[in-house]
């Protein structure tokens, strides 16, 4: 196992180590402390990126009110593209990739760029694990509950302080996150998750939207009519932060038809669902202090309309 590198901070310039160096860090499951190095990450070997932030805590799909932390506290996110899912059945979840510090090295602009040949990339890809069974996949999402542990309420508060100390955000930004969480908690207690939610309506609207197509998000009153008392439409949650987009015009980023479930590795099929440009999880409203995962929001087509004249 390679020596533990220095503690990285937001904005640091790093280089993803060579495939052969990465191989030396991996266990029999091609992971470090249960966090896999995935085939989708191989293309980044030898490339340089800025650290987006330290992962002090993260949520997971299905229970965003429960926060997790990596016990070794050696995980960062980089300003890299999201996981493309190409090695995992075409998963369209587009997860933010987690990086162990042992997979990275600090560099500066004066360092010579390391050249990585395709043979070494292929050697690494051939060793990496992508499934655990005929219908289950092996990736960072599937192993998240093994790689990270739940935080107590006290630990979640301490992690908020660590986020500021690590430079992930300013004290003012963290105060804003906590205020958003308190406001949502008060609203949920007084008025419920979606005020006057009714039983979900039939999933009749199929717009067949495509990437790049302009759309308009319906008003909250129209969307509320499609939600059940839990704020869901056929199992898909309309999260509190998505209310801010109501009435806005934007573009479809991609259709979302299949995603790997956190903690199980099962592929879940979605219908009439898309992701939108610049629509990310407002985790701070539902998880104390927010997290680094920055998941995509998923939008049912029944919540959207084509703008007039389109």
pLDDT at 204: 56
Out of 55-64, 218-227, 249-258, which region has the weakest mean confidence (pLDDT)? 55-64
pLDDT at 1: 42
Report residue 124: phi and psi, to 5°.
Answer: -70, -45
pLDDT at 124: 96
pLDDT at 2: 43
Return the SS3 of 267: strand
Q: Is 46 left (phi over 0), alpha (psi -120 to 50) or beta?
A: left
Domain boundaries, the chain: 13-152
pTM, two decimal places: 0.89
Count other C-beta atoms under 10 Å from residue 144's C-beta: 22
Count other C-beta atoms under 10 Å from residue 195's C-beta: 12
Mean pLDDT of 24-28: 96
DSSP 22-82: HHHH--TTSEETTEEPPGGGGGGTT-EEEEEEE-S-B--TT-TTS-EE-TT--EEEESSPP
Over the chain, what is the mean pLDDT? 88
pLDDT at 38: 98
Percentage of the chain with pLDDT > 90?
Answer: 61
Count other C-beta atoms under 10 Å from residue 243's C-beta: 15
pLDDT at 107: 92
pLDDT at 254: 95
pLDDT at 193: 56
Mean pLDDT of 150-156: 89
**At CB < 8 A and 24+ separation, what contacts does 251-254 make?**
251/212, 251/213, 251/214, 251/215, 251/276, 251/277, 252/209, 252/210, 252/211, 252/212, 252/213, 252/214, 252/215, 252/276, 252/277, 253/211, 253/277, 253/279, 253/296, 254/92, 254/94, 254/211
pLDDT at 13: 95
Percentage of the chain with pLDDT > 70?
Answer: 90
Kindly report, residue by residue over 206-216, the tens digit of the pLDDT: 899 999 999 99
Helix (H), strand (E), coil (C) string for 87-140: CCCCCCCCCCCCEEHHHEEECCCCCCCCCCCHHHHHHHHCCCCCEEECCEECCC
Mean pLDDT of 66-73: 91
């Amino acid at each position: 196992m390679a020596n533990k590198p220095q503690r990285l901070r937001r904005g640091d310039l790093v280089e993803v180590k060579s495939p052969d160096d990465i191989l030396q860090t991996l266990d029999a499951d091609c992971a470090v402390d249960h966090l896999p190095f995935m085939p989708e990450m191989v293309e980044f070997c030898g490339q340089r990126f800025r650290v987006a932030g330290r992962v002090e805590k993260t949520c997971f799909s299905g229970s965003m009110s429960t926060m997790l932390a990596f016990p070794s506290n050696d995980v960062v996110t980089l300003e890299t593209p999201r996981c493309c899912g190409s090695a995992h059945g075409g998963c369209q979840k587009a997860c933010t990739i987690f990086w162990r510090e042992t997979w990275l090295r600090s560099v500066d602009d004066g360092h010579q760029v390391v050249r990585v040949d395709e043979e070494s990339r292929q050697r690494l890809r051939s060793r990496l694990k992508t499934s655990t069974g005929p219908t289950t996949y092996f990736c960072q999402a599937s192993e998240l509950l093994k790689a990270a542990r739940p935080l107590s309420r006290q630990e979640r508060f301490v992690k908020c302080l660590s986020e500021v100390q690590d430079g992930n955000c300013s004290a003012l930004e963290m105060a804003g996150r906590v205020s958003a969480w308190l406001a949502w908690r008060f609203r949920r207690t007084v008025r419920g998750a979606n005020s006057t939610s009714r039983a979900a309506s039939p999933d009749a609207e199929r717009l067949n939207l495509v990437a790049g197509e302009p759309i308009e998000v319906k008003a909250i009153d129209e969307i509320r009519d499609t939600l059940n008392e839990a704020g869901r439409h056929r199992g898909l949650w309309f999260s509190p932060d998505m209310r801010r987009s109501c009435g806005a015009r934007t573009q479809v980023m991609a259709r979302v038809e299949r995603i790997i479930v956190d903690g199980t590795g099962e592929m879940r099929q979605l219908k009439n669902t898309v992701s939108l440009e610049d629509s990310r999880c407002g985790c701070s409203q539902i998880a104390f202090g927010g997290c680094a995962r920055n998941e995509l929001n998923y939008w049912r087509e029944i919540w959207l309309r084509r703008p007039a004249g389109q």
